[in-house]
Amino acid sequence: MALVTGGELVVRTLRAAGVETLFGLHGAHVDGIFQACLDQGMPILDTRHEVAAGHAAEGYARAANRLGVALVTAGPGFTNIVTSLANAFLDRTPVLYVSGAAGLAQAETNTLQAGIDQVALARPVTKWAHRITVTADIPRLVAQAIRIATSGPKGPVLLDIPSDIIGARIEEEGVWMPSPLLLDARPAPHAAEIERALDMIGAAARPVIMLGDGLDPSAADAVRRLAEATGAPVYSDFAAHGVLPADHPLHGGTWHKMADLAEEGGRPDLILALGVRFGLFTVGTTGLVVPHDARLIHVEIDPREIGRIRAVDLPIVADPASAAEALAEAAAMRGRPDRSAWQARVAGAKAARRRALEPDLARAAPPIHPIQAVDAIVSAITPDTIVVGDGAEAYHWLNETIRQTRPSSYLTHGHLGAVGFGIGLALGAQAAHRDRPVLCLVGDGAVGFTIAEFDTMARNDLPIVVVVMNNHSWAASQHFQELAVGPNRVTGTRLGGARYHDVAAGFGCHAAHVREIEALAPAIRDAFASGRPACINVEIDLGPIPPELHLLMKR
């Protein structure tokens, strides 16, 4: 009879689920899986640090809208992905993390990279974590993990597999290969809920639609039809940016820009929230973004999110994408209201915000103002570019100018605020879309976390363009100290003038150093044209604080 190893069973099950790429870093405890990948033609994009492997799996999952898989060894291999686990958990990203472990026969022997309960450490930051102790159970439990990760609300799972379970050879005939591995579980709302929601929207004078990370990108067409049928402007969180193209007349912007409506003579009186988690990016309970007196229709697949921050007038526990489709279909059967005055007010708020930036955009001499840098970046990229935003202040500047027209094309911070994850996300996004440009914006603090991944880009032919916003500071922290405790109390937040572009060049990447704004857009175009990974080190002014941060400081 034919024999099969545990490593082979892992890879076979992943392949049966449609997995095409793994992200990881080799270690002896998982070599059996590496060898099976080699035999079965499953690529492993190997990084220089496990933290980047974890974030790359996140980036792959978010850019491709499918399961990401990270493979790490025992002990420090596992502990190095805990930040990624937590980030995926809070952002509801479907990632399967597979960690190696010391063999079962080595329990309580003080052996290498053992002595910690990896499953117990993972449980608080995963949807499910489990140790596999029987080789024949590998397909069943891998399938279970995949279904849990990819069913709403989506999120990370961990499978911990001892090395002797991976390496064991068992008779192939005795192994059950489960089917189906994937579920398309999208519970729909009740028809009565849809009609009531449309009645409420129809009665409102100033309705808006808010899109959150719980909305599947496949809902893009339904959202467009719903917005056009109801006349309601659309605002999104960062994960949902691009679901309604930024050039659509009803696109209002990211959530924080709803606060501008107060200055335009009126605020929303009804909000349809699709897959929204109220809290950080809606500025908590302040009412600055979501007015206290606005009626709320909240559609969420996770009932724990409904009523978490504020009262809900119509709670709908359902898949937000299914609800968007049902709402769009039913709204098309009703007459289109005239909301031109309300739409003009939203457009006016967007124009006023842009006008407020014009003096800084027009700065004629160095240092480069951060808004000039991000505006040049957005103007220089093509519409199909996937953009990753990283850095405690850098991405806040990018939020002012980003205007993507495709879903899953702007990947940036969520609730964990994991500075330093951007290059990892970019690795995964580029692996998912080899035919699309990928640009990663990072602060000079953030780039230091995983700067060795320029080597990963070069070895794996991933032509990512990394733009470093270099103000020689952990700017968000320095600005916090200056405002909270005084300018003479700045400590531990300054950085030197490191030549990040030279570091990238040392790994074989294209490199440029930009000190004047006129040179930035050409440098970006040259970097993409080179066909190589690239680092553009841009010297920017430390002084300005992003408008979005001023809003968050009011919490």
List pLDDT tens digits, range 14-33: 999 999 999 999 999 999 99
Which pLDDT score is estimated for 450?
A: 96
Q: Given CATH 1.10.8.100, say whether it is the number of domain 3-174.
A: no
The two three-digit tokens of residue 103, written as one number: 């063999």
Which pLDDT score is estimated for 284?
A: 65
Least confident of 179-183, 186-190, 292-296, 534-538: 179-183
259 pLDDT tier (thresholds 50, 70, 90): confident
451 pLDDT tier (thresholds 50, 70, 90): very high
Select the more confidently predicted residue: 257 or 372: 372
Indicate if the pLDDT at residue 238 is higher than 80: yes
Indicate if the pLDDT at residue 554 is higher than 60: no
Which pLDDT score is estimated for 106?
A: 82
Sort 517 into a burial class: Cβ within 10 Å, 0-12 / 13-18 / 19+: buried
Indicate if the pLDDT at residue 115 is higher than 90: no
The two three-digit tokens of residue 291, written as one number: 């007015």
Mean pLDDT of 312-341: 95
Q: 47-56, 348-357, 487-496 — which one is most confidently predicted on average?
A: 47-56
Select the more confidently predicted residue: 335 or 376: 376
Least confident of 251-265, 309-323, 392-406, 497-511: 251-265
Which pLDDT score is estimated for 544?
A: 87
Indicate if the pLDDT at residue 264 is higher than 60: no
550 pLDDT tier (thresholds 50, 70, 90): low
282 CB neighbour count, 10 Å cutoff: 24
Where are the chain's structural domains? 3-174, 191-346, 363-552
Mean pLDDT of the chain: 93
Please give the angle made by the CA atoms of 479, 481 and 485, to the nearest 5 degrees. Answer: 135
Homologous superfamily, domain 191-346: TPP-binding domain (3.40.50.1220)
CA distances from 324 to 149, 157, 197, 268, 319 (A): 23, 28, 11, 20, 9
Catalytic residues: 29, 50, 113, 417
Indicate if the pLDDT at residue 114 is higher than 90: no
Indicate if the pLDDT at residue 461 is higher than 70: yes
398 CB neighbour count, 10 Å cutoff: 29
Number of alpha helices (DSSP H) and beta strands (DSSP E) in the chain: 20, 20
Indicate if the pLDDT at residue 525 is higher than 80: yes
Least confident of 19-28, 231-240, 476-485, 527-536: 476-485
Pairing of strands 95-101, 68-72: parallel
Which pLDDT score is estimated for 303?
A: 94
Mean pLDDT of 270-275: 97
For every residue of 122-173, DSSP letters joined together read HGGGSSEEEE---GGGHHHHHHHHHHHHHSSSP--EEEEEEHHHHH-EEEGG
**CA dist., res. 285 & res. 128, Å (int):** 31
Which pLDDT score is estimated for 12?
A: 96
Select the more confidently predicted residue: 262 or 335: 335
**Predicted TM-score (pTM) of this structure:** 0.95
Which pLDDT score is estimated for 551?
A: 63
Q: Which residues contact 52 (CB under 8 A, 6 or more apart)?
A: 423, 424, 427, 450, 453, 456
**CA dist., res. 229 & res. 327, Å (int):** 10
Which pLDDT score is estimated for 285?
A: 66
**What count of Cα atoms within 13 Å lies in the side-chain half-sphere of residue 37?**
20
257 pLDDT tier (thresholds 50, 70, 90): confident
Mean pLDDT of 262-276: 86
Q: Give me the phi and psi of 385, to 5 degrees please.
A: -70, 135
CATH class entry, domain 363-552: alpha beta
423 pLDDT tier (thresholds 50, 70, 90): very high
Select the more confidently predicted residue: 44 or 186: 44
